[in-house]
A and B are shown apart, each in its own frame.
Chain A
Amino acid sequence: MSAAAGNDADSLVVEFYAPLYRFAFSLCGSQAPASDLTQETFYRYLTSGGAIRDPSKVKGWLFTTLYREFLRSYRRNARFPHLELEEVESDLPKVEAADMEQIDGQLAMDALQEVDEVYRGPLSLFYLESLSYTEIAAMLEIPVGTVMSRLSRGRSHLRQILKNRLSAEDRKVIPLGNRTSGRS
């Protein structure tokens, strides 16, 4: 690889490694596999022989490749059962926007992990990359209508999970004088 090409590749890695890692982490839920997915994605790009000639398409290629690799390698190990959200959607309480003050990044990511995988991919790109529904559809190779539906149901499920988490926190007994150690 020439020095110029090497510098370009380094710049590309620096620009995209963090958003790709966050996407990978949101999909598989732990640090080691998320790092592996990110590295594998860059390896595929760097060994592709410059197949992506249009620089504007590199980002999409990287996210699509990472998602495909996730589906290939990790999907069979999904930890959470599929929920028929329509059956439970209207009955369960959901977290309010005002409650978000009580939620930090780790709790938000933990809750996202509990969302069924089919909703998690679109939700991750929606929240982490602020992508439009058409961009998400192209990256995940699913129809636009399906993206809209999954965002709506996924968000609803996410809010239920966050509500449950906060309720569980509230039920914890915290001794007087130690309240700073809990979420409040």
Chain B
Amino acid sequence: MFILGACPPGPWPTDDAQVAEALAFAESDPGLQAWLVETRSFDAAMAGRLRSIEPPADLLDSILAGRRATPAPVPRRRWTTRTVLALAATIALVIAVPAAWISFSQKTDAAALRKDAATFLSEKWEHDFDYPESSFPKIQEWAAQQSFHARLDAPAALAKSRTYGCKVFKWRGHTATLVCFVPEGQSQVVHIISVDRSALPTDGTASPDQRQLAKAGEWNTASWHQGARSYVALTQLTPETLSRILAVKSL
């Protein structure tokens, strides 16, 4: 009943074994069959009514006008003449400046990780996972077996929560991991990005008991280090809720 009621109006999905099994069961139960027919009929009628709502007449023109007034975005990963020239100029500059300046300019810290993590989640990540998995212990096991040998930890309240999976990406030359948690009782995801602590040589990131809360773009964040890794948690939950989730002690 639960799974069939979650199938949208229209043809039944043909590639879902759970649905096929539930349909077979429904066929043998007249009461369930009647419920299904009535619910599907309601759903089809409701969908038709809602889809009859039309957007305002001027909305399309307004969006298209806004599109034409929008500054051209900078394409990523495209090697234009301008990009090549800019890169050459940058290389020349880096070679020419003193070593001390180089050290300063390449400083990486929790603030940089926080900022880049927010940009990654909002603009670059395509909601894909290298290891889709709902159990954090399995993600830990998987990450430890990869070539980057990450030993991942999570705050106690999250470690037992359901996950969506793990994404691996590069941050300033270092391997970074993203794990997405769904805290119990919450409707929003908590994303935790981590890098090896050696990636933040100039960092003063706090220990797990002194997590630093900060706003980064549309995200509420907290950063800390634990063991050999540095972490930043990003969510659209309130800072109070995030703080409460992260502060829960181990049982």
Give residues in A with beta carbon < 8 Å to B: 1, 6, 9-10, 13-14, 17-18, 21-22, 25-26, 31, 35, 38-39, 42-43, 46-54, 57, 60-61, 64, 68, 71-72, 95-97, 100, 103-109, 112, 118, 124, 126-133, 138, 141-143, 146-149, 151-152, 155, 158-159
Contacts and interface: CB of A to CB of B under 8 A. Distances in A.
A-B CB proximity, top 9 nearest: A100-B45, A108-B49, A105-B52, A97-B41, A49-B73, A130-B8, A21-B55, A97-B42, A1-B72
Bin chain B's interface residue count.
35 or more
A71 B187 CA distance: 11
Nearest to B58: A35
B56 A35 contact: yes
Interface string B54-67: 11100110111011
B249 interface: no
Contacts of A53: 126
A97 B126 contact: no
A148 B73 contact: no
Contacts of A146: 182, 187
Contact of A51 (B56, B67, B123): B123
Interface string B64-77: 10111011111110
A130 B66 contact: no
Nearest to B55: A21
Contacts of A133: 3, 6-7
A25 B59 CA distance: 13
B2 A46 contact: no
B45 A42 contact: no
Interface in B36-52: 38-39, 41-43, 45-47, 49-52
B218 A100 contact: no
Contacts of A127: 8-9, 43, 46-47, 50-51
A183 to B, nearest CB: 13
A65 to B, nearest CB: 8
22 contacts: A10-B64, A13-B63, A13-B64, A14-B60, A17-B59, A39-B62, A42-B63, A43-B70, A47-B71, A50-B76, A53-B126, A54-B126, A60-B127, A96-B38, A96-B42, A105-B51, A133-B7, A142-B189, A146-B182, A148-B5, A152-B2, A155-B42
A151 B46 CA distance: 13
A57 to B, nearest CB: 5
A95 B42 CA distance: 9
B162 interface: yes
A25 B6 CA distance: 22
Residue with the greatest number of chain A CB neighbours at <10 A, chosen from B2, B16, B49: B49
A50 B5 CA distance: 37
Given A50-B75, A152-B2, A25 B60 contact: no
